[in-house]
Chains A and B, each alone.
Chain A
Amino acid sequence: MFCYAKQLEYPVRIKNCNPRLASAIITQYGGPDGELGASLRYLSQRFSMPFDEAKGTLTDIGTEELGHLEMIGALVHQLTRNLTPEEVVAGGFDAYFVDHTTGVYPQGASGTPFTAAMMQSTGDPITDLNEDMAAEGTTI
């Protein structure tokens, strides 16, 4: 079961709106190496892990990734509040805006909606752990 702690893991305080930056940051929300993919990857792979250490680790990491998803959502939300139509166009944000306005929608920067094709859960622990490292490797 999942409980919700009503606090971000780290505070998000964006003083200046920046829709152009939001168009890039959104990829960490619903893009191929983003937090939604990370959460689903770990929370799905844990079922077929053979050892308690792995079950616990993947459960806790997957849970934390949901917390990261929330922070990225907060970032996009704060970067795009109070936009004028001119700012939307000037920021190259018009294509996203016409479908989602200032709502937060899980997609990559290129506009591709999130899909489970961005992750894998093979049932083989070594393969799955390698896939985790490959996905995290983009951050390192």
Chain B
Amino acid sequence: MNQVMFHRKRTIRTTITLIVLALIAFGVLLLSMNTGFSKMSPMEVLRTLFGGGTPKQHLILFEFRLPRIVIALLVGIGLAIAGAILQGVSRNGLADPGILGINSGAGLAVVLFVITNPQRESTSPMLLPFLALIGAFGAAIIIYLMAYKRHKGISSSRLVLSGIALAAGVNALMIVMTIRLDPNEFNFIATWQAGSIWGSSWKFVIALLPWLIVLIPIALWKARQLDVFSLGDETATGLGSQLNMQRLVLLVVAVAISAACVAVSGGIGFIGLLGPHIARRLVGPRYEHVIPVSALIGAVLLLTADMIGRSILQNAEIPAGVMVAIIGAPYFLYLLARSKA
């Protein structure tokens, strides 16, 4: 009886949290539409949004600001969900697609493509997620194999260390590959790596959206499985879970989501870490609650970071990834310092 009550309370709490977060997200979205290089008053933004406004305002809002805002929202959602899944699968609260080296694998593939195809404008938006996917899976497979030992399965510490090793190696390679580019290309890649949400047109929204529409429902559907994992391998098998198969499916979903996101946003870390952690604080440890809540938190975080990055300096943009890392890394270190051995 108590159990049922508790469960219902949690569900109500999650619903309320989701509504509040959605309102916050909406607020940030409105603010974000008002932020930018050319000034537009909130009333002008609203008028333009509903069909009024000058052609110039129309252009600024619909062609420059909105696509970027939508991408920040989607990428925030995607990375937070990917992080939650990775934390559940590895049973390591410090897992994140950036830390585990998956982002750097995706980044390597994208950078290789950019270097070998200077005329990227025409073809790339739809292609980039696929390329990133190949790189991300390459990285994930290497890390998985390195962390796997026969009779012992996957060890979470080896998983994390292999990810860090791979990311360090890939970074060394990337610097080497980019250093001889001409300054324009180099700047493009440098801002991309810093996580600048560079693909800010509707083409990129269309390239990203199908991935999320397919993958996020799978993640939500499998969320209960993550709760079973958290009980430990023996209990999970006892409850009839086909551990390795389920784990693999979830890993594939997480890697694919983060690859698609990284392809359009560039290397943004720590969203996958912050989202789920804050979500757990708000609604407790059950993944069916954690995943939707962390998705909205991720969206709010990235949207805010991008907005601040766009407006904090007069003549330059700070990439959203840099802003997220400046907040996220200290939080990560704080979690690390608190964690038990």
Q: Do A and B come from one complex?
A: no
Which of A's residues lie within 8 Å of B, judged by CB?
A: none
Q: Residues of B with Cβ closer than 8 Å to A?
A: none
